Amino acid sequence: MAQGSAFGKTILIGDQFVLEEVPAIVSAIPFETIAEVERIDGEGWVLEDHRVEVPGYKDKKKDQQVVSINRILEVMGIDVKKTPIKITYGGSLLAGSGVGASAASCVSLARALNAEFDLGYSIEQINHVGWEGEFSYHGIPSGVDNTASTYGGLLLYQIKAGEKRFERIVAKKPFHIVLGNSGVTANTALLDDYIEELKTGNPATFKSRMETITNQTYAMKAALEAGDLAEVGGIMTANHEILIGMGLSHEKLIYLCNLALEMGALGAKVTGGGRGGYMNALTPSQEVQQAIAAAMEAEGYMVIRTTIGV
């Protein structure tokens, strides 16, 4: 029997446009999915999923999960007809749209299989397997989620001329965020088609928005390195306005962002693919973080409090 773990993530900017070669800033969050693999009698594989979830998330993702696990087993060359296995998922990461739950499940499983079958994979190979497992969830995955899940930390991630690359961002100081869940499970596999519709429907406007978001991303990187959280927050909020205009937010996410801003957040925006899942609020202190999180919970929303940039 062997275990593997992988981080959840939040994306501060650039979420939906990595495949358009727009850079994104992503951070792992200190919540993990843990996969356990053990050999069993019989044939094939069985799954027990004990992850705490946003209601309905696991059921909606069930078919995609089966395809994902089969793809990971194929890529890693594991024949479960000859060596049947039981996969068990658990851990502290809430299973829901927008926090890299699918990537964390893929990467943690890759690590557990690597350990159980003594494959000797490097961290780069683990990251690649995580990316392969993401296809069923995302259509064509950008690789940003599985990279944050695999490596951890605060990263600038970009695809350039087809090559995936990332660099670590050293923040001046750690900062507190609130992740509020809308309760809406988004189908991120449909996002690529929607982005393509936006691009072909008005190419000039789409190009202008991509340039703006690219500039915002590099400005945010500089602000993070300088410790200017007010600037980071302002960029987040401005970016969310662009996403709202593109139909990539959701009325519940907009409500939660406005609530956070009214209560003193420095900035707030949708995180992840959008159209459901989580929003992310940057707070100036742990006290403001706690107040915002408590207000959301009082209205029945599921919340993650965390610190990133450590």
Quickly state the pLDDT bin for 188 (edges 50, 70, 90).
Answer: low
- Domain containing residue 92: CATH number: 3.30.230.10
> In the predicted model, is pLDDT for residue 7 greater than 70?
yes
Rounded distance between C-alpha atoms, residue 34 and residue 95, angstroms? 12
Query: Structural domain of residue 214, as residue ranges?
Result: 175-308
Same domain, 128 and 202: no
Q: Letter for the amino acid at 135?
A: F
- Tell me which of 168, 202, 217 is where a domain ends: 168
Half-sphere CA count of 146, side-chain side, radius 13 A:
30
Quickly state the pLDDT bin for 187 (edges 50, 70, 90).
Answer: low
pLDDT given at position 189: 62
Taking alpha carbons only, the member of 185, 179, 251, 198 closest to residue 12 is 179
154: its two tokens: 């605060």
Q: What is the pLDDT of residues 69-119, one digit of tens each?
A: 999 999 999 999 999 999 999 999 988 777 899 999 999 999 999 999 999
Q: What is the pLDDT of residues 212-266, one digit of tens each?
A: 999 999 999 999 999 999 999 999 999 999 999 999 989 999 999 999 999 999 9
Domain count, the chain: 2
Q: What is the pLDDT of residues 140-173, one digit of tens each?
A: 889 999 999 999 999 999 999 889 999 999 998 8
Same domain, 247 and 152: no
Same domain, 206 and 264: yes
- Tell me which of 149, 168, 187 is where a domain ends: 168
Same domain, 23 and 50: yes
Rounded distance between C-alpha atoms, residue 35 and residue 14, angstroms? 29
Same domain, 122 and 222: no
pTM (two decimals): 0.89
- Tell me which of 115, 137, 168 is where a domain ends: 168
Same domain, 98 and 190: no
